[in-house]
Amino acid sequence: MKSKEQIITFDRAMTLSRNESTEWFGRHVNHPLASLLRLGNADMRFSRAEGIYLYDEEGRRYMDLTAGYGALNLGHNPKEVLDAVHESQKLPAVLLVGYNPLMGALGKTLASLLPGELSVAIVGSGGAEAVENAMKTARASTGRRKFVSCAGGYHGLSFGALSVCGSERFRMTLAPLLEHCALIPFGDLNALEQALQGKEVAAFLVEPVQGEGGAVVPPKGYLKGAAELCRKFGTLLVFDEIQTGFGRTGRMFAMEHDEVVPDIVTLSKSLGSGVSPVSASVTTEKIWMAAFGSRDRFDLTISTFAGNPAACAAALKTIEIMQRDDIPGRARALGDYAKGRLQDLKRKHELIKEIRGQGLMLGIELETAGLFSGTMAHNLSVMIMGELLHKHRILTSYYDFNPTVIRFEPPLIVTTEQIDEAVDAIDKVLSRGKKAIALSFGRTAIGRLLHH
């Protein structure tokens, strides 16, 4: 056994310097990520977070336009949610004989919130787990093996979720994955109909608005058409609302824009407000009973930490606040405002190719044609992000499957004044021009290399 001197206590960990944090993260967690963050001078140590802001070791304030990939719809550390989680911790943390009373309350609340007959939840601890549970439900209830999903779709990084992932890079790195999984173009009903022809597909998994694909809104009528085709061929329709759910697109759920009800919906991220990991795969009673409604199957939905009191408390309080404060309506109005301001930028800057998205799930697609060669074209967004971070103290990122699209995805508690501040900062960065942006990033990278 290693000596106790090598163990880092909690108190010590809370006081780690930026360099120590980066060194140990790189050595013991993810070396390439640590190196990239260090190169771009983005290996910052934030010591506090509240609302839409992060604070570094010197107390400097940074606006967060990422919202934790959509997990922080109520902002960082919402006090009401923290208080609810604290109160819930009087209950047994893990209870496998009996059940946590908050879990049934969460199931009932989700059933009341969701449209149609979606009423039975398999609770989990993260989005990928919700997708795994949806895939299990589809196979067990239909007796079919195949899955269809969309190119550009993101469903998580566990083994089954990766099998329906819309990125060839992600899939091929770990191939072979699950058999019987096929990708089709997003928004193409003809391709979907062809894929379902043999009546062997258990489920079609799709995001109502693609997140990591770059805030891609499907063509009008696509989701309704997909639902009709799935019914025709006996395939279950699974909506992945892990990033779009709970107000992000201007409705409580993105499916509401098209008034389409799936057979299964997966939820996570902002369900727990970033305070506690929680997810749910919700389906109808009929489908759940066909999949797991017998004594030899019911326990296929059980997981040690699923539905623990802290997770359920965070989810219940989050939903309560969402409804009480009409957070989806706020996102709809502020999303329209932000999109209008970003469209004004597009008319001003040739570096912007397109503004797209829905609600406060927006993407700024950059025009990279003729800018650089090779991988440099894909690094333009990184350069702009670096300028925003270090010169304007605004944190953003790109969408994982489309690095030419910068995410404009603030917490839903953002104000018009904060949107104006962010848009004005983007305007100033783009006004400097591509050469100045590239030179500034290069100087930063060289400086960091020499420093280390």
Q: Judge contact between 166 and 153, C-beta under 8 A.
A: yes
In whole angstroms, give the CA distance from residue 371 to residue 388. 20
CATH 3.90.1150.10 region(s) of the chain? 16-77+327-451
| pLDDT score at 370 | 66
| pLDDT score at 32 | 87
Confidence of residue 410 (pLDDT cuts 50, 70, 90): very high
Rounded to two decimals, what is the model's pTM? 0.93
22 compared with 223, residue with greater pLDDT = 223
Residue 55 has pLDDT above 70, yes or no: yes
User: Which two structure tokens, joined as six digits, stand for 404?
Assistant: 């030419």
Task: Please report where in the chains the tokens 């280390």 appear, as a residue.
Answer: 452
Residue 430 has pLDDT above 70, yes or no: yes
| pLDDT score at 373 | 54
* Kind of pairing between the strands at 181-184 and 146-150: parallel
| pLDDT score at 441 | 66
The tens digit of pLDDT for each residue in 227-279 reads 999 999 999 999 999 999 999 999 999 999 999 999 999 999 999 999 999 99
Collapse the DSSP code of 159 into the 3-class scheme (helix H, G, I; strand E, B; otherwise coil) and give the result.
Answer: helix
Q: Judge contact between 262 and 239, C-beta under 8 A.
A: yes
Q: Edge to edge, what strands does the sheet with 46-50 contain?
A: 46-50, 53-56, 61-64, 394-395
The tens digit of pLDDT for each residue in 91-111 reads 988 887 778 899 999 999 999
Averaged pLDDT of the chain: 92
CATH 3.40.640.10 region(s) of the chain? 79-324
Comparing 175-179, 330-334, 336-340, which segment has the lowest mean pLDDT?
175-179
Q: Edge to edge, what strands does the sheet with 146-150 contain?
A: 118-124, 279-284, 264-267, 236-240, 201-206, 146-150, 181-184
Q: Give the pLDDT mean for 396-409.
A: 94
| pLDDT score at 385 | 92
The CA angle 105-109-114, to the nearest 5 degrees, is 150
- Domain 79-324 CATH (choose: 3.30.420.40, 3.40.640.10, 3.10.180.10, 3.40.50.300): 3.40.640.10
* Domain 16-77+327-451 annotated CATH 1.10.10.10: no
Confidence of residue 437 (pLDDT cuts 50, 70, 90): confident
